[in-house]
A and B are shown apart, each in its own frame.
Chain A
Amino acid sequence: MRPLLNKIFILLFLGTILHLAFIIYYPTFKMWKFDRDIASTSVNKIIHSDKVDSNSRTVIRPSPDLLYSVCAYDASYSPVVITSDVLNTYWAMSFYASNSDNYAIINDMDINSDNVKVYLFGPNSKPTKINDGYAIFSPSNKGAVLIRRFLGNESNIDELYKNQETLTCDTLDN
């Protein structure tokens, strides 16, 4: 009887480990898939989205009230530098780790300037003193930066599209 119980216990234990591994790594898989679909050839490059509509299938539940840009970053070998003009309306730069955690957000209310420069350091980077921008520390070497702009009543939509063009995302080495 006892060997059978031991066997059942071991099988339950291993099943639970497998279940937890799936739960833990599923978000990382989804981020990896997003990187592969969106940015496989464009790491550390900005990709702009047009206004989302019913044909938009990249991200589930997209907001039609936002104009998006995204940079899939890789800070393994060098910090990544992101620059942009900042809008007077809602404008936010959100930083996502490889497990999809939103570990930092900078928005227009945080910035007392018309533009912003962000130095994004990977977990193995040596901290560097930054005098001309924000220093953000990513918990993973890879991840994504998502920029959201509020479309409102779209009276300033040209300005929002122009704002997309001011965005850069590149390694510090370049």
Chain B
Amino acid sequence: MIFARKYLLYFIIILIIAALETVIAIKIYPKIAFIKNDIWTILPSPGDPDRSIYTRAAVAAAGTFASKKPEQAYYQTEIDIEDQPLNGNCLYRLSGEDIESRWWSITAYANDGFLIENTEKLYSYNSETINYNANGGFEIYFLGDNDFISDVSNENWLRVNQDENFNVSLRIYYPGEEFFSNLRRVNLPIIEKVKCIE
């Protein structure tokens, strides 16, 4: 009985060590593997067969079906240019220039990684649906409060959940080989806070 209890204790210690190492890996991995470009982060080769075991596990946790290069560059952000979390109690403006690629899209996701329910059934803008401004750039507003609608009429805008944080994905299809060697410095849109609920 004592013998069995001793080995059960060893087994529990091994489980705790494995769990601790996994937690540490989850904390450290994004800092090492993700490339940062201003507010955006990207895994340089999320779907490639030669990716590391940690990249494979991280992608499986976040989405499973990632594409290999050069099909798609997939950036994400959950912060604005002041490094503050994107939150549905504020109005945000994303502004950028057209992105050289076959096509691109910008999508807002709820905290759980799924699309945000809205009566308009509008979840994203892509290079064909966006309304460009006169100088060829574009703006997209993110809002969770109906009071902000008057501020963004006739603009590109996406609904987010009030009182909740949200995040934004930027998918760029076939941006070219040069783009992938320059992921840290390519020109990407920025997200600024316009105002918040008082």
Is A22 interfacial (CB 8 A cutoff)?
yes
Contacts of A20 in B (CB 8 A): 53
- Whether B105 contacts A59 by the Cβ 8 Å rule is no
- Whether B17 contacts A16 by the Cβ 8 Å rule is yes
The B20-44 residues at the A interface (CB cut-off 8 A) are: 20-22, 25
Contacts of B19 in A (CB 8 A): 19
The A105-153 residues at the B interface (CB cut-off 8 A) are: 105, 107, 139, 144, 146, 150-153
Is B164 interfacial (CB 8 A cutoff)?
no
Min CB distance B10 to A, Å, is 6
Is B60 interfacial (CB 8 A cutoff)?
yes
The A29-51 residues at the B interface (CB cut-off 8 A) are: 30-31, 34
Of the listed stretches B64-72, B83-91, B177-185, B190-198, chain A binds B64-72
Interface size of B in residues (CB-CB distance below 8 Å): 52
Contacts of A53 in B (CB 8 A): 115, 121, 123
Min CB distance B144 to A, Å, is 14
CA of A60 to CA of B123 in the docked complex: distance in angstroms?
Answer: 14
- Whether B63 contacts A16 by the Cβ 8 Å rule is no
Min CB distance B130 to A, Å, is 10
Contacts of B117 in A (CB 8 A): 54-55
Is A23 interfacial (CB 8 A cutoff)?
yes
Contacts of A22 in B (CB 8 A): 18, 22
Min CB distance B82 to A, Å, is 25
Min CB distance B162 to A, Å, is 15
Other-chain residue from B10, B61, B66, B112 in contact with A102 (beta carbon distance below 8 A): B66
Which bucket holds chain A's interface residue count? 35 or more
Min CB distance B100 to A, Å, is 15
Is A73 interfacial (CB 8 A cutoff)?
no
Min CB distance A87 to B, Å, is 13
Binding site for A on B (CB under 8 A): 10, 13-22, 25, 47-49, 51, 53-54, 56-57, 59-68, 71, 102-103, 105, 107, 109, 112-118, 121, 123-124, 126, 128-129, 169, 171, 173
Binding site for B on A (CB under 8 A): 11-12, 14-16, 18-20, 22-24, 26-27, 30-31, 34, 52-57, 59-65, 90, 92, 94, 96-97, 99-103, 105, 107, 139, 144, 146, 150-153
